[in-house]
Amino acid sequence: GAGVSQSPSNKVTEKGKDVELRCDPISGHTALYWYRQSLGQGLEFLIYFQGNSAPDKSGLPSDRFSAERTGGSVSTLTIQRTQQEDSAVYLCASSSGGVTGELFFGEGSRLTVL
Partner 1 sequence: GENVEQHPSTLSVQEGDSAVIKCTYSDSASNYFPWYKQELGKRPQLIIDIRSNVGEKKDQRIAVTLNKTAKHFSLHITETQPEDSAVYFCAPRGDYKLSFGAGTTVTVRA
Examine residue 55 and tell whether it contacts partner 1 (CB under 8 A): yes
When asked if residue 43 is in the footprint of partner 1 (CB under 8 A), the reply is yes
Would you count residue 45 as binding partner 1 (CB under 8 A)? yes
Yes or no: say if 97 and 33 are a contact pair by the CB < 8 Å rule. Answer: no
Sheet with 5-7: list strands edge to edge: 5-7, 19-24, 75-79, 65-69
Q: What are phi and psi of 22, to 5 degrees?
A: -115, 145
Q: Could you say whether residue 2 binds partner 1 (CB under 8 A)?
A: no
Between the alpha carbon of residue 58 and those of residues 43, 52, 107, the distances in Å are 15, 16, 24
Query: Rounded to the nearest whole angstrom, what is the least distance from the CB of residue 29 to partner 1 in the complex?
Result: 13
* Contacts of residue 54, Cβ cutoff 8 Å, sequence gap at least 6: 47, 48, 67, 69
Is 74 a residue that touches partner 1 (CB under 8 A)?
no
Instruction: Out of 14, 39, 71, 99, point to the residue binding partner 1 (CB under 8 A).
Output: 99
Q: Residues 21 to 40: which contact partner 1 by CB under 8 A?
A: 31, 33, 35
Question: Where on the chain is the footprint of partner 1 (CB under 8 A)?
Answer: 31, 33, 35, 41-43, 45, 48, 50, 55-56, 91, 99-100, 102-103, 105-108
